[in-house]
A and B are shown apart, each in its own frame.
Chain A
Amino acid sequence: MGRDTNPRKSLGSLHGRIKEARVLMVGAGGIGCELLKNLVLTGFGEIHIVDLDTIDLSNLNRQFLFGMQHIKKSKAMVAKETAGKFNPNVKLEAHHANIKDHNFNVKWFKTFDVVFNALDNLDARRHVNKMCLAADVPLIESGTTGFNGQVQVIKQRTTECYDCTHKPIPKSFPVCTIRSTPSQPIHCIVWAKSYLFVEIFGTSEESSPEVDPSENDENAGEIANLKREAEELKNIREKMASPDFAATIFGKVFAADIDRLRSMEDMWKSRKLPKALDYAQISEEAEKIDNSVAKNDQKVWTLAENYVVFADSLQRLAKRMLELKASVKDGEAAPILAFDKDDEDTLDFVAASANLRSLIFGIDSKSKFDIKQMAGNIIPAIATTNAITAGLCVLQAFKVLREDYKTARMVFLSRSADRAFSSEKLSPPNPNCEVCSVTRITIEADVSRATIGDLVDKVLREQLGYGEELSLLTKELLYDADYDDNKDTPLSEIGFGEETFVTIVDDDEEEPRINLVIVVTNTALPADGEPITVPEKFEIPRKLKAIPAGNGGGTNGLANGLKRSHEDLILAAGGEGANGNGNEPEQKKRKVDVIVENRDVNVKRAKVFEEKKDDDIIVLDDDGFITID
């Protein structure tokens, strides 16, 4: 009996494929630890782990590959070390790095059979989704929140991608709500974390995604005032070493600034007038209170207790800042402190400051425990949900290795045991998805010599047949018919690195092509030749005319779209602008089919969504029994 007796017996021929498989796991956190253990013990041949994070005490209630002795060490490295001991036949490789680093390029992604996303943030998820689509590698995406979890299989041109459905963006608040007219605890917490803390200990130019600074006629005057206030605060920052630093800050933000606000009579016509805090009175009362009150994180602190925590944490932070400053050498950037929910000094400061502000505006104060959750966007997490989710990821990987996307599933976990989880069939790609419903090509360019002009003229117009009206975008607009300032600038000077994704939007009014994504790889090309390689000529499919919204805006899937010829597509779009062949009955019928087919898809999805909302129906699927040979 060998160590792989059980897997061999249960998995049959799939076992061989698993042993050959080379997989990538992005993220070695809660799901990652479970997943890595499962992959290692299931016998996956080669596993690469990428994680930028280091280990924190609050990870240890679930991330079992780590112990107390590993705190502050690299998650990827420690995970590899711990898990590796359990199966000498598996090859493990760890990268303590950001998955967005340029060396993790499309070519590198292509070397894997399956990629697992075990991430905790939208940005990295989207990035890996994009890379897997470009590399045409199947991705198993997963996530958990408390008792809820989700596993999704993503395969280019076969299933929905991560971005095919709308993902909610984090909430942001207007700057005046945060700085002048708060009405909820969260407004005061964002103020303490993204304004006050940053002005005193960070770089104030930092803009926070939680605050929307847009200026309009109504708030222009107030925004000017706020800028001046921030300037004054910055000056106080210079007095960090002074013994009355806390008193000065307090006097400014909890008294002087409030008095200034009170004087804006229009603002308070229908709002409750804020009331400045009385430093002398509060600090006297605070004499009797011990600093240890900060440890009581379940209690809602009194005014004086908040002051004690405010003054004490400010002193702790100032001390750290002064020490950092003393160790900085000439020419190095000035040190800063950043808010971290698990850094007690920063959390105490934000909790106390937020509560003091709430008291000024007559808003409910919160306990430090609650503020930690609100300020840190904390997501509850436990081992059990991660274990279930990781187990489901591996089951889906079995299907992916067999290229069986028909029985692969999207699985949802809920905390209710009556329906511990429900699964549904994978949906086809959303034809309007800007991430996956595109054509992709890769070209090589010497970015120090090649220009936007080379790209537009030599590649897009001459080779691919684009007309005058087109735009090039990366994160920003690089070029369009009315904006050609960059045309002669080398690509390297407008942000092109080792590998850059450029989206080409065809602005032709009649028959625009679907979006084209060019992956530009930096290559040293012979100095006497062209600075850019030109792809073979090929026809990029045209966009389908949108079916009116309400049907979900669906047209046919890209998978079909790419296979169809140009004429068919126009027809399928609903006959508008159809050319001479448009009356041919056979093709007309096809047009109808396409639309109906997609309506069905959308109707079915809408229903599934409704049912989930009501939370009482399991989506049942009728798949037959599959035996694994």
Chain B
Amino acid sequence: MAASTPSGAPSSKEKKYDRQLRLWGANGQNKLESAHIALFNASAAGCEILKNLILPGVGQFTVIDDKLVEEADLGANFFLDEESLGKPRAERTAALLGELNPDVKGNYLVDSLSNTLSAKPELLNPRSTPFTHIVIISPVPTPLLLQIPIEIPVFLVNCVGLLFTLRISAPLHTIVEAHPESLVDLRLLNPWPELSALAAEKTKNLEVQQEMDGDEGMSDHEHGHVPYLVLLLKYLDDWKRRPEGDGTHPSSYKEMTAFRSFVQDKMRTHVPGGSEENYEEAVAAVLKHVRKAEVSEYAKTVLDHPACANVTSESTNFWIIAKAVKQFLESPEQGNGLLPLSGGIPDMKAESSGYVALQNVYKNKARHDAALVQKNVQSILSSIGREPSSISLEEIEIFCRHANFLRAISFRPFSAELSTDEFHKKVVKDAFESWDADSALINDYVAFRAFQEFITQNNGRAPGDTEGPLDEDTVEMQRLAKAYLSEVGCSLELAERTENIIGELVRYGGAELHNTASLAGGLVAQEIIKIITQQYVPGNNTILFDGISSKTGTYVL
């Protein structure tokens, strides 16, 4: 043995990020560390968003802002101090944010979005941009927004008083690790030969009461430790063979409950406590796990996506593996209509040896399925001129494990929403017809849509941000909201909720409140992290928040 080291400590970075690695793993962390976020408008909300990305270790950030620090900024923005007064906001916030994490590189640019677009176009050209993701804090007039190329993911935030909205625009977004509640897929109605054989072997003497050691049959201890999975497989088989049955598995709710009693009745009740835990687990699992293995709608969307059929040398690994999985699914020799097995099983009452044997049957099948997918991947890679081993087995295994939870999300571009296309009209109309329309946040959207229009017409000025009387701005906002509703084809009467929100927006005059900015900072950063790590499912595509009733709403607009 080699000499003792003072400590086997992992790097301080791993230790610092320990609590979040448990959410998105090393893979997610690597993606986070490769990201470069641009923030346009260093408001309190913008800085709070960056804070929540810098703390977990995003690679780089750049603050772009052309304003000087004023007294009012100090009251709302935690990343500006007394010394900052009169200095460029971009410079000061970048410096103070940078102090949060020495592993993150901070940059700044004293400039505006409009000037960046016209004078430094290379910064926002998809081929030359250093930025992987862009955060924009409103007010931004619509024409400027539409100039940002749709290839770059953009997070547009309105944060006013107790309200905020987030709009995400991004190219086709794919997710392998959606982190569903459970990946367990037991295939009780589609067992493969090894699983059936194990179940038969483990239940050979299930009905025989062993009287003496060494006799035929099962002792009460053994009987009470047959894993419930095995019990269900055995009783499903028995159910099919009942003389009064029709040779099929239980499927209707009525049959399922009858099957449940069928299992319950087989429990030994002369044992201490009068019942067996493994049988109780079996009974409880009937409705949850006795079902045909099916391909989910989400997975179908991915496998039927044109990007899956048209794999080229430009395709990402996601689409290459997706195509290989589709081949697996369709091949009679491979999946024969089923996806690769995820391979995990839940905890259950069992002896450890019995549990391990069962676990191995599932693990081996999952490994076998992944190996077939790997073969498909290799031939696809050859056909598009890539090295056949350029996608690792590990990556394929992770993909297979999550096959039924894959996602491909198409975020609609700003232009589609702001031109009020047919899709948009339908979404809004449907929302107004829902049972809770009066209190729904679609009413808030109408007010925010008027807000966007107001800003566009007033060269970036927010309603209420004026020395003059507020009434004029309120009247104008109401007019814009009605004009929008008529464009959509809805009633021209403004809902009470919309009128109230307009009132609030005008009263705040575009001003941010620190607490709302902080809340927005948490929520927006969380969605950005989901997009960067390609894990978990982000909101599509507009999230609205009302801090008065602590409510959120999400719409595909």
User: Which residues of B are found within 8 Å of A68, using beta-carbon distances?
Assistant: 102
> How far apart are B57's CB and chain A's nearest CB, in angstroms?
7
User: Which residues of A are found within 8 Å of B241, using beta-carbon distances?
Assistant: none
Interface footprint category on A: 35 or more
> How far apart are B17's CB and chain A's nearest CB, in angstroms?
5
In Å, the complex CA distance between A369 and B48 comes to: 31
User: Which residues of A are found within 8 Å of B343, using beta-carbon distances?
Assistant: none
> How far apart are B63's CB and chain A's nearest CB, in angstroms?
17
User: Which residues of B are found within 8 Å of A626, using beta-carbon distances?
Assistant: 548-549
With beta carbons under 8 angstroms apart, the residue of B1, B23, B26, B512 that contacts A289 is: B1
Q: In this assembly, does B518 line the interface, its C-beta being within 8 Å of a C-beta of chain A? A: yes
Q: In this assembly, does B19 line the interface, its C-beta being within 8 Å of a C-beta of chain A? A: yes
User: Which residues of A are found within 8 Å of B81, using beta-carbon distances?
Assistant: 85-86
With beta carbons under 8 angstroms apart, the residue of A3, A295, A378, A627 that contacts B8 is: A295
Q: In this assembly, does A180 line the interface, its C-beta being within 8 Å of a C-beta of chain B? A: no
User: Which residues of B are found within 8 Å of A5, using beta-carbon distances?
Assistant: 71-72, 75, 511
* B15-A1 in contact (CB<8A): no
With beta carbons under 8 angstroms apart, the residue of A3, A41, A344, A387 that contacts B71 is: A3
In Å, the complex CA distance between A61 and B8 comes to: 22
In Å, the complex CA distance between A68 and B70 comes to: 30
User: Which residues of A are found within 8 Å of B179, using beta-carbon distances?
Assistant: 415
How would residues 343 to 363 of chain A score, 1 for a CB under 8 Å from any chain B CB and 0 otherwise?
A: 011001000000000000111
Q: In this assembly, does B351 line the interface, its C-beta being within 8 Å of a C-beta of chain A? A: yes
Q: In this assembly, does B525 line the interface, its C-beta being within 8 Å of a C-beta of chain A? A: yes
Q: In this assembly, does A214 line the interface, its C-beta being within 8 Å of a C-beta of chain B? A: no
Q: In this assembly, does B543 line the interface, its C-beta being within 8 Å of a C-beta of chain A? A: yes
With beta carbons under 8 angstroms apart, the residue of B23, B500, B513 that contacts A627 is: B500
In Å, the complex CA distance between A43 and B514 comes to: 10
* A392-B17 in contact (CB<8A): no
User: Which residues of A are found within 8 Å of B222, using beta-carbon distances?
Assistant: 270
User: Which residues of A are found within 8 Å of B70, using beta-carbon distances?
Assistant: 1
* B16-A10 in contact (CB<8A): no
Q: In this assembly, does A167 line the interface, its C-beta being within 8 Å of a C-beta of chain B? A: no
With beta carbons under 8 angstroms apart, the residue of B75, B219, B352, B523 that contacts A272 is: B352
With beta carbons under 8 angstroms apart, the residue of A62, A183, A417 that contacts B527 is: A417
User: Which residues of A are found within 8 Å of B543, using beta-carbon distances?
Assistant: 417, 420
How would residues 369 to 388 of chain A score, 1 for a CB under 8 Å from any chain B CB and 0 otherwise?
A: 10011000011111111111
Q: In this assembly, does B521 line the interface, its C-beta being within 8 Å of a C-beta of chain A? A: yes
* B19-A61 in contact (CB<8A): yes
* A309-B8 in contact (CB<8A): yes
| Closest residue on chain A to residue B544 by CB atoms | A420
Q: In this assembly, does A64 line the interface, its C-beta being within 8 Å of a C-beta of chain B? A: yes
With beta carbons under 8 angstroms apart, the residue of B1, B55, B548, B549 that contacts A383 is: B55
> How far apart are A271's CB and chain B's nearest CB, in angstroms?
6
* B508-A64 in contact (CB<8A): no
**Residues 281 to 328 of chain A near chain B (Cβ within 8 Å):** 283, 286-287, 289-292, 294-295, 297-298, 308-309, 311-313, 315-316
| Closest residue on chain A to residue B435 by CB atoms | A620
Q: In this assembly, does A168 line the interface, its C-beta being within 8 Å of a C-beta of chain B? A: no
| Closest residue on chain A to residue B7 by CB atoms | A344
User: Which residues of A are found within 8 Å of B436, using beta-carbon distances?
Assistant: 620, 622
**Residues 516 to 540 of chain B near chain A (Cβ within 8 Å):** 516, 518-519, 521-523, 525-527, 529-530, 536-540
How would residues 495 to 520 of chain B score, 1 for a CB under 8 Å from any chain A CB and 0 otherwise?
A: 01100100110011101111110110
> Contacts A3-B71, A5-B511, A297-B10 given: A387-B23 contact, CB under 8 Å?
no
Q: In this assembly, does A546 line the interface, its C-beta being within 8 Å of a C-beta of chain B? A: no
> Contacts A290-B2, A297-B10 given: A388-B75 contact, CB under 8 Å?
no
Most chain B C-beta atoms within 10 Å of own C-beta, residue among A313, A362, A380, A417: A417
User: Which residues of B are found within 8 Å of A405, using beta-carbon distances?
Assistant: none
* B4-A391 in contact (CB<8A): no
Q: In this assembly, does A628 line the interface, its C-beta being within 8 Å of a C-beta of chain B? A: yes
Q: In this assembly, does B254 line the interface, its C-beta being within 8 Å of a C-beta of chain A? A: no
> How far apart are A239's CB and chain B's nearest CB, in angstroms?
18
> Contacts A362-B353, A373-B22 given: A311-B526 contact, CB under 8 Å?
no
Q: In this assembly, does B5 line the interface, its C-beta being within 8 Å of a C-beta of chain A? A: yes
Q: In this assembly, does B356 line the interface, its C-beta being within 8 Å of a C-beta of chain A? A: yes
In Å, the complex CA distance between A274 and B540 comes to: 54
* A11-B513 in contact (CB<8A): yes
> Contacts A1-B71, A4-B75 given: A287-B22 contact, CB under 8 Å?
no
User: Which residues of A are found within 8 Å of B92, using beta-carbon distances?
Assistant: none
> How far apart are B153's CB and chain A's nearest CB, in angstroms?
15
Q: In this assembly, does B422 line the interface, its C-beta being within 8 Å of a C-beta of chain A? A: no
In Å, the complex CA distance between A588 and B56 comes to: 62
User: Which residues of A are found within 8 Å of B539, using beta-carbon distances?
Assistant: 417-418, 420
With beta carbons under 8 angstroms apart, the residue of A38, A271, A362, A384 that contacts B52 is: A384
In Å, the complex CA distance between A344 and B12 comes to: 12
In Å, the complex CA distance between A415 and B352 comes to: 34
In Å, the complex CA distance between A594 and B328 comes to: 62
User: Which residues of B are found within 8 Å of A291, using beta-carbon distances?
Assistant: 1-5, 8
With beta carbons under 8 angstroms apart, the residue of B1, B26, B503, B522 that contacts A388 is: B522
Q: In this assembly, does B74 line the interface, its C-beta being within 8 Å of a C-beta of chain A? A: yes
User: Which residues of B are found within 8 Å of A146, using beta-carbon distances?
Assistant: 22-23
In Å, the complex CA distance between A498 and B264 comes to: 57
> How far apart are B118's CB and chain A's nearest CB, in angstroms?
30
Q: In this assembly, does A98 line the interface, its C-beta being within 8 Å of a C-beta of chain B? A: no
In Å, the complex CA distance between A545 and B522 comes to: 48
In Å, the complex CA distance between A122 and B149 comes to: 50
Q: In this assembly, does A74 line the interface, its C-beta being within 8 Å of a C-beta of chain B? A: no
* A417-B537 in contact (CB<8A): yes
**Residues 1 to 58 of chain B near chain A (Cβ within 8 Å):** 1-10, 12, 14-23, 26, 48, 51-52, 55-57
> How far apart are B442's CB and chain A's nearest CB, in angstroms?
13
User: Which residues of B are found within 8 Å of A514, using beta-carbon distances?
Assistant: none
* A418-B8 in contact (CB<8A): no
With beta carbons under 8 angstroms apart, the residue of B514, B521, B529, B551 that contacts A41 is: B514
Q: In this assembly, does B550 line the interface, its C-beta being within 8 Å of a C-beta of chain A? A: yes
**Residues 222 to 248 of chain A near chain B (Cβ within 8 Å):** none
User: Which residues of A are found within 8 Å of B76, using beta-carbon distances?
Assistant: 6-7, 41
With beta carbons under 8 angstroms apart, the residue of A87, A295, A396 that contacts B10 is: A295
| Closest residue on chain A to residue B73 by CB atoms | A3
> Contacts A147-B536, A395-B550, A620-B439 given: A361-B352 contact, CB under 8 Å?
yes
**Residues 41 to 86 of chain A near chain B (Cβ within 8 Å):** 41-43, 57-58, 60-62, 64, 67-68, 85-86
In Å, the complex CA distance between A183 and B350 comes to: 9
**Residues 1 to 60 of chain A near chain B (Cβ within 8 Å):** 1-7, 9-11, 34, 37-38, 41-43, 57-58, 60
Q: In this assembly, does B554 line the interface, its C-beta being within 8 Å of a C-beta of chain A? A: yes
Q: In this assembly, does B300 line the interface, its C-beta being within 8 Å of a C-beta of chain A? A: no
**Residues 390 to 425 of chain A near chain B (Cβ within 8 Å):** 390-392, 394-396, 407, 409, 411, 415-421, 423
User: Which residues of A are found within 8 Å of B55, using beta-carbon distances?
Assistant: 60-62, 64, 383
* A615-B23 in contact (CB<8A): no
User: Which residues of B are found within 8 Å of A9, using beta-carbon distances?
Assistant: 161, 507-509, 511
User: Which residues of B are found within 8 Å of A372, using beta-carbon distances?
Assistant: 18
| Closest residue on chain B to residue A41 by CB atoms | B514
> Contacts A9-B508, A417-B543, A420-B552 given: A61-B57 contact, CB under 8 Å?
yes
Taking A384-B523, A387-B523 as given, write out 20 further A-B residue pairs in contact, using a Cβ cutoff of 8 Å, ordered by the A residue number.
A3-B72, A6-B76, A10-B162, A34-B518, A57-B12, A61-B19, A61-B55, A147-B526, A184-B352, A270-B225, A272-B352, A283-B1, A379-B19, A382-B526, A390-B518, A391-B515, A411-B550, A415-B536, A423-B549, A627-B548
Closest 8 CB pairs of A and B: A417-B539, A387-B522, A391-B519, A294-B8, A3-B75, A41-B514, A388-B522, A384-B526
Query: 5 A-B contacts, Cβ less than 8 Å apart?
Result: A62-B19, A283-B1, A392-B519, A420-B543, A420-B545
Interface residues of A (CB under 8 A from B): 1-7, 9-11, 34, 37-38, 41-43, 57-58, 60-62, 64, 67-68, 85-87, 146-147, 183-184, 269-272, 283, 286-287, 289-292, 294-295, 297-298, 308-309, 311-313, 315-316, 342, 344-345, 348, 361-364, 369, 372-373, 378-392, 394-396, 407, 409, 411, 415-421, 423, 615, 620-623, 625-628
